[in-house]
């Protein structure tokens, strides 16, 4: 696709369509200032690469993509994570609780009910 750069009206630029590898789930981790005041949310995010690798979630049919999010506007009980496309929202995601989420939800498909504070498509 070629578009015209608004800064220089006669200069065409090439827009490259991005690609993303196939994944089963997408884990969103809030690393906003309220959820990350003590650095726990960022440390959690940083630990996920190794945790996913150890659980086989870094490739194959169960691959999980991870992304930092600046704010979910759910600023209590953090760290907060959301599993998509499942629409499952977790609170109090300590390293031990993340291990439970990885094992039970991301690997086996069953939400960790005692950590869920919202499930998309259901009433609160």
CATH number for the domain spanning 68: value is 3.40.30.10
In a domain, 87, yes or no: yes
Which secondary-structure segment (H or E) carries 97?
helix 95-100
pLDDT score for 92: 94
* Contact between 117 and 111 (Cβ < 8 Å): no
In a domain, 66, yes or no: yes
In a domain, 6, yes or no: no
In a domain, 73, yes or no: yes
- Give the pLDDT means over successive 10-residue stretches in the chain (124 positions): 59 90 95 84 95 96 95 85 97 96 98 96 76
In a domain, 18, yes or no: no
In a domain, 94, yes or no: yes
Number of domains forming the structure of the chain = 1
In a domain, 76, yes or no: yes
């Amino acid at each position: 696709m070629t578009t015209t750069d608004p800064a220089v009206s006669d200069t065409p630029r090439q827009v490259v369509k991005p690609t993303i590898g196939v994944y089963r789930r997408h884990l969103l981790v809030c690393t906003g200032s309220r959820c990350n005041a003590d650095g726990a949310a960022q440390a959690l995010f940083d630990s996920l690469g190794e945790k996913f690798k150890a659980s086989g979630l870094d490739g194959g049919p169960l691959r999980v993509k991870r992304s930092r999010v600046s704010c979910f506007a759910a600023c209590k009980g953090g760290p907060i994570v959301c599993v998509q496309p499942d629409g499952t929202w977790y609170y109090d995601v300590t390293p031990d609780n993340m291990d439970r989420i990885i094992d039970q939800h991301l690997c086996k498909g069953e939400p960790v009910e005692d950590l869920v504070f919202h499930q998309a498509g259901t009433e609160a």
